[in-house]
Homo-oligomer: A and B are copies of this chain.
Amino acid sequence: MYVEALDRIVLKDRVSQRAFANASTVRKAAITTRVMQLVHQLLRKNIHTSKRDIFYADPNLFSAQEESDAVLNDIACIVGCTRTSLAIVASDKGVVIGRVSFREAGDLIDCTKMGIGGKAIPPYIDQITDIQSDAEFILLVEKNAVFTRLSEDRFYNKFPCIMITGKGQPDVATRLFLRRMRDTLRIPVLGLVDADPYGLKILSVYMSGSKSMSYDSANLTTPDIKWLGVRPSDLSKLNIPDQCRLPMSASDIETGKSLLKEDFITKNPAWVAELETMVNTKEKAEIQVLTHFGFQFITEVYLPTKLKAGDWI
């Protein structure tokens, strides 16, 4: 459930019991114990693994991956720690580039010297230490193609920043990484997302978390992300021609209307206004709409204007 004071999705206050001596729960209790033993083994060796590997460690007992997956979350709750602390991590796909350096498994990583492709965000956040940065903000980019444009233009040198992308819907590693950067550096996070309901949904996952990972929301969420753009109001401000605006589908409009009831929207009147504009005009747009004014318009005009004016909400 969403808790306003914490500004994130957290677990409800419910307890479940599993008795070894009860036929209906003995199997689940056995699985729980076995997974705990495997996790113990990982922690003693100081290595990490994936959920799939946990399943294959004892397929006779688990019989399906859903069974071992399910108890992993339970164990995190029992021990009162994060799933990452159990040395089990999901696949990673995020990338970081810009004005930050850190040590990863002992290696010194300087993200200003990562070419165009950037540094793959590691699955194991606990391997990251010594974060150093002179960045003034973190630019969170929804789309990989936009990230690449900014990275080729070395935007982070024009406006000292750290650029992070989760390539669409972010994975756990990227969310942990963003939160960690935010906590260590205490600089604002500015979101560059599509002007559509999906863009806001992605921001909400970074901000208040997802239901499936609610037990770990304390480490995964970055509550105070500012919405830089592309915002529905930008479309008229910039005189974006009709051909670049996309009509919202019926399901887009429905998603938009249901977002208007979500806490992370309602607590910010400026967000409500933008979302209402979107739902009323029934128009959406992607970040790449800015390409209409030139391939480098985003780097040379749009972002500099926004940043100088402090135009985020």
- Spell out A's residues near B (CB within 8 Å): 41-42, 45, 47-50, 52-53, 55-60, 63, 89, 91-93, 95, 103-109, 113-124, 127-128, 144-145, 148-149, 152-153, 167, 241, 243-244, 286, 288-292, 294-296
Contact = CB atoms under 8 A, between A and B. Distances in A.
A59 B32 CA distance: 56
Given A59-B241, A123-B148, 4 more contacts: A57-B295, A59-B243, A104-B115, A114-B120
A26 to B, nearest CB: 20
A124 B152 contact: yes
Contacts of A153: 47
A114 B109 contact: yes
Given A114-B119, A115-B105, A244 B56 contact: yes
B52 A286 contact: yes
Residue among A115, A145, A243 with max Cβ neighbours from chain B (10 Å)? A115
A221 to B, nearest CB: 21
4 pairs of A and B residues whose beta carbons are closest in the complex = A104-B115, A117-B122, A56-B291, A50-B145
A167 B93 contact: yes
A134 B123 CA distance: 27
Given A115-B107, A119-B114, A121-B117, A59 B244 contact: yes
Contacts of A56: 244, 286, 288-292
Interface of A is mostly: mixed
Contacts of A113: 107-109
Contact of A241 (B60, B121, B292): B60
Contacts of A114: 104, 107, 109, 119-120
A60 B243 contact: yes
Contacts of A241: 59-60
B109 A105 contact: no
Residue among A120, A127, A243 with max Cβ neighbours from chain B (10 Å)? A120
25 contacts: A41-B295, A47-B296, A50-B145, A52-B288, A53-B288, A53-B295, A56-B289, A56-B292, A57-B292, A91-B145, A91-B167, A93-B93, A93-B167, A95-B120, A103-B115, A104-B115, A104-B117, A105-B152, A107-B115, A108-B113, A115-B122, A115-B127, A116-B123, A117-B121, A118-B120
A111 to B, nearest CB: 10
Nearest to A106: B115
A47 B115 contact: no
Contacts of A120: 95, 114, 117-120
